[in-house]
Structure 1
C-alpha cells in the first residue's frame, strides 16, 4: 500500500507493503476454482492461506485468473479509508463479471466484513458472502447458502478460535519463507485502531502446534518463518494438561531450536510488551534474525497518551537504547501516524526528532484518517487539515529516506549471510535475499550453482535507500 495516505515502507523486492496479491496453486485435480486477493497486513496473507486450506477440503483449487473462478474472495483491510475505497472499487469490477456470469459468487473476508456487512450486502449489493476473521470454518456452509440465492453472513467473533488444527496451503509461495500465525486478536485499545473491534480479543495458539507447523515447513524445504500476531510479545499459552505456560521468549527459543538452518523472524511488537528476556533470546541464537518492528506512532508524549499507546516518548526511546545495548547490530523499523487529532507543529517536530534518535532503517508512514467505531472517532475531533497532514507526512517520508539511505550506505564494504529467496524482480540473472537485519540484497548469480533456500555470503559494494547491492563471496 505505497500511496500517500496509506502505510509507506521504504523497501523493495519484497511482498511486504503490496496493496494486494492474488494467490494460486495447481488446480488440475479440482472441479471448482476460487480466486482470492489479500489486502493489508501479513496477518491477512496468513489468513488467506487458512481459507485456501478450508476450500481445498471442499474441492476448490485456486486460480490466478479471476475469469476462471466460480468463487472470488477479497481478504480485506479496514485500517485506512483509502484501503476500503480500493477494495470497494475492486468489488465493483468483479460485479461486472458477475453480470455476465450469474453463477459467480463474490465474498469479502477479514476486517471490512464485520464493519460494512450490511452496506456491502444490501445497499450496494456488491457481495454474496461476508465472513469475519473468526468464521472461516463456516465458509463451506456459507457458500452452499449463497448458491441458493441467499445472502450468507457470519461475522461472529470468538474467544477461542486460533485455527491451530488447520495446515495452511502455502499459496503464491517462494518455497523458502513462510508466515506462521501464533495468536489472534488484540487487547490494546489504541484509540485510532479498528483491530480490537474487527479481530476480537487476544488468544494464543497452542505452542506445540506452532512448533509442529514449523518443523513441517523445515522438512518441506522452507528456511525462514515469520511468527505473526497483532502483538506477538503478549503471547501466552497455558497448557492445561500440566498447568505450565509458555510466553513469547520461550516460544521463540522453541522455534529457534527446530534447526539452526531455519531463520526465525517475528512481527509485530508492542513497545510496552517486548521484554529483556526476548532480547536476550534473540542475542543467544544466531538463527533468530536481529530485526524488530517497533511501532512508535508518534514522538510526542501527549499525542501518545491520546492514542492510548501506554508509553511516553522517553520510555520508548529508552527501549530503543536497551535493544541496541543488548544487540548493537539489531535493525529497527517502525510505524508512524502524523496529523492525529489536535497534533501541533511542535508535536510533529517531536516525531521527526524521535526518528533521528532511533535511526530507523525503514518505516510504514501514513497520515491519520478517522475510522468509524474507534475510540478516537468517539472522543476526539479530527481537526488537523488534510493539507497539513500531507505536508507533515511528506516531511516524515523525506527524513526516513535520508535515514534509510544512511543506514544502507553504512553497510557498504560489509559482508552478510544471505538466504536466497529467489530471482530479482528486475533481472533474472540476479538473486535476491535478506540478511539477518531484514535488508534486501541483490547480487549476480554468475557461475555459482546456488538455488533458493541456500545461504550465501555476500559482500556489499553499493546501496540505495532500499536495497544493498553485492557479490557472492565464494565459500
Structure 2
C-alpha cells in the first residue's frame, strides 16, 4: 500500500480500467490509434496524460474501443495483489483482441511493469513492450523496436526525470479539475510498500514549471488543481547553479508550504488540493499556509496505517501513535473544521487483537471524514516480505477490516451530519450521476454535494449550497 490514494475520488474505483480519451481529436499524421487504461492511484492517471502527450506528438490519436487500437497500454499498480490480478485478467482480454489483429502492440506501463520487468515478455507472453514510470520518453523508440519484430523493455529508474517540460494531455477531462505532478518517487522505506522500488528515489520538480502549468490550466478554464506526490510534504527544490550569483532565497530553495502559497496566488478562483501528506513531515508551516488562503481546500489526507506504535515501527513509518495524534491536534487547532481522511491496513504481520483495537481507538479519536481501508497484502520484494512472516489468518484480517469499515461508516455519517444547516462553497463539476435535474460538486472539505440545477449556474462555477440532508457519503441541499 502506498500513501498516494486520493480520496473522493481522484482515486476513483469507478474509473479503474476506464479508457482515457483526449479532450479533442488531434490532427492526424500517421493515424495510429492509441488506447490507454489506468489502474490505481492518481499518479498513474497523471502519468497516462504524459504518455498521451508524448505519443500525440508522434501522430497518434485515441480510441475508446481497444479492439480498434493499434497500440494498447495498460498503466498498472502494484499496491496490492488484487490490483495485479485485475491487470493480468485484462491483459488476457487484450491477447484475444491481438489474435484477431496480429499487428496490434500491447504494452504494460507503470509500477507493475517496473516490478515484474521482463517477466511479462519472457514468461507471460502477454505483452510486447514493458515500460517503467521513468522511461516514457523512450516510448516512440520502443514502439519502433516492436514494429521491427522485437520485444522491447525499458524499466530504468532515474534520479532526475520529472517530465517537467511535457505539457500533459488532459484525459477524460471535465475541463474543471486537473492533476499536477509536483514530484516523483519516494525516499520513505515503509516496509509494506513497493513504491520506492517501482518509482525510484524522490525528486522535486522546478516550482516555476508547476506554476506555469497551473496558470495555463486556469487560463484554459480549469478551476481546481490537485498537486500530486508520493509525499508532498517532503517537496524541496533547489536550483543547480555553478559559478553564478544567486540570492539567499534561491539557495534555500522552495518547500511545500511555499509552493502551496505560490499556486494559491495564481487566482482566488483557482481551488488548490494536494495529496498525499506524510505524518512525519507535515509541518505547522504547511497548516498555517492552508489556513491563510481561502482557496487552499481545508482537507488533508493523512495516512495512519495503524494506531499502534509497535506496528508502526514494524511498518517503518518513522512516527509513533503519539506523534500522529500531535499532528491531528495541530490540524484541528490551526485549521478548525478541516476534513481529514486516512489509509488503514489491518492484519499487518504479528498484529495482535489488542494492537488492532488501538487502530479502532485512533479512528474514534480522529473521527475521519473518509478512509481507505485494506487487509495487509504481502508484496514480493518489500522489506516486510523479507523480514516478517505474514502470519495473520485471512479470516482474522477480514474480520478486523469489517470492524473498521463499520466504524468508518459511522464516523463518515457523523461528519456529514455536522455539516447540515451550513452553507457549502461548491465547485460545480457536472450533473449528478442519478439525475440531469441535479448538479454535483465538492465542498471545500471534499464532500460530494448534490443540489437542483438552477438557472444561471453551470459547471466550472462556484455555488453556495445550504446542506439540508445527507447520507454517509453525500450532502444534499439547495443553492442560496
CA change 1:401–1:6 in 2 (3 A) is farther
Looking at structure 1, the residues matched to 259 and 429 of structure 2 have their Cα atoms a distance apart, in angstroms, of 25
Tell me the secondary structure at the aligned position of residue 320 of structure 1. Answer: helix
Match of 2:466 in 1: 459
Looking at structure 1, the residues matched to 99 and 6 of structure 2 have their Cα atoms a distance apart, in angstroms, of 40
Is 1:353 the counterpart of 2:345? The answer is no
Structure 2 unaligned regions, length at least 5: none
Moved over 3 A (4+): 9-15
Looking at structure 2, the residues matched to 407 and 77 of structure 1 have their Cα atoms a distance apart, in angstroms, of 31
Pairing 1:39-58 to 2, within 5 Å after superposition? 39-58=39-58
Given that 1:178 and 1:224 are in contact with CA atoms closer than 8 Å, whether structure 2 keeps it comes out as yes
Q: Deviations over 1:113-157 (max 9, x none)?
A: 011122211111000010000000000000000112211000000
Match of 2:27 in 1: 29
Match of 1:104 in 2: 104
Given that 1:13 and 1:425 are in contact with CA atoms closer than 8 Å, whether structure 2 keeps it comes out as no
Looking at structure 2, the residues matched to 149 and 385 of structure 1 have their Cα atoms a distance apart, in angstroms, of 47
Match of 1:95 in 2: 95
Match of 1:362 in 2: 370
Given that 2:8 and 2:446 are in contact with CA atoms closer than 8 Å, whether structure 1 keeps it comes out as no
Tell me the secondary structure at the aligned position of residue 21 of structure 1. Answer: coil
CA change 1:171–1:104 in 2 (3 A) is same
Looking at structure 2, the residues matched to 440 and 463 of structure 1 have their Cα atoms a distance apart, in angstroms, of 10
Give me the TM-score of the superposition, normalised by structure 2: 0.95
Given that 2:118 and 2:153 are in contact with CA atoms closer than 8 Å, whether structure 1 keeps it comes out as no
**C-alpha deviation, 1:425, in angstroms:** 1.4
Is 1:177 the counterpart of 2:177? The answer is yes
Alignment partner of 1:411 out of 414, 419, 442 = 419
Is 1:266 the counterpart of 2:262? The answer is no
**C-alpha deviation, 1:10, in angstroms:** 12
**C-alpha deviation, 1:33, in angstroms:** 1.0
CA change 1:11–1:370 in 2 (3 A) is closer
Q: Deviations over 1:388-417 (max 9, x none)?
A: 101100101000000001111111111111
**C-alpha deviation, 1:63, in angstroms:** 1.4
How many residue pairs match? The answer is 467
Given that 1:10 and 1:362 are in contact with CA atoms closer than 8 Å, whether structure 2 keeps it comes out as no
Match of 2:346 in 1: 338
Given that 1:185 and 1:199 are in contact with CA atoms closer than 8 Å, whether structure 2 keeps it comes out as yes
Looking at structure 2, the residues matched to 202 and 148 of structure 1 have their Cα atoms a distance apart, in angstroms, of 35
Pairing 1:22-421 to 2, within 5 Å after superposition? 22-25=19-22, 26-27=24-25, 29-30=27-28, 31-241=31-241, 242=246, 243-244=250-251, 245-421=253-429
Match of 1:433 in 2: 441
**C-alpha deviation, 1:14, in angstroms:** 6.4
Given that 2:2 and 2:193 are in contact with CA atoms closer than 8 Å, whether structure 1 keeps it comes out as no
**C-alpha deviation, 1:27, in angstroms:** 3.4
Is 1:468 the counterpart of 2:471? The answer is no
Aligned-CA RMSD value: 1.6
Give me the TM-score of the superposition, normalised by structure 1: 0.96
Looking at structure 2, the residues matched to 10 and 391 of structure 1 have their Cα atoms a distance apart, in angstroms, of 25
Looking at structure 2, the residues matched to 134 and 6 of structure 1 have their Cα atoms a distance apart, in angstroms, of 18
Farther-moved stretch of structure 1 (242-251 vs 305-314): 242-251
**C-alpha deviation, 1:29, in angstroms:** 2.8
CA change 1:85–1:13 in 2 (3 A) is closer
Looking at structure 2, the residues matched to 323 and 11 of structure 1 have their Cα atoms a distance apart, in angstroms, of 18
Looking at structure 1, the residues matched to 434 and 54 of structure 2 have their Cα atoms a distance apart, in angstroms, of 35
**C-alpha deviation, 1:28, in angstroms:** 6.3
**C-alpha deviation, 1:6, in angstroms:** 12
CA change 1:10–1:363 in 2 (3 A) is farther
Given that 1:192 and 1:375 are in contact with CA atoms closer than 8 Å, whether structure 2 keeps it comes out as yes
Looking at structure 2, the residues matched to 298 and 443 of structure 1 have their Cα atoms a distance apart, in angstroms, of 37
Farther-moved stretch of structure 1 (11-20 vs 406-415): 11-20
Given that 1:6 and 1:82 are in contact with CA atoms closer than 8 Å, whether structure 2 keeps it comes out as no
CA change 1:317–1:236 in 2 (3 A) is same
Looking at structure 2, the residues matched to 314 and 70 of structure 1 have their Cα atoms a distance apart, in angstroms, of 54
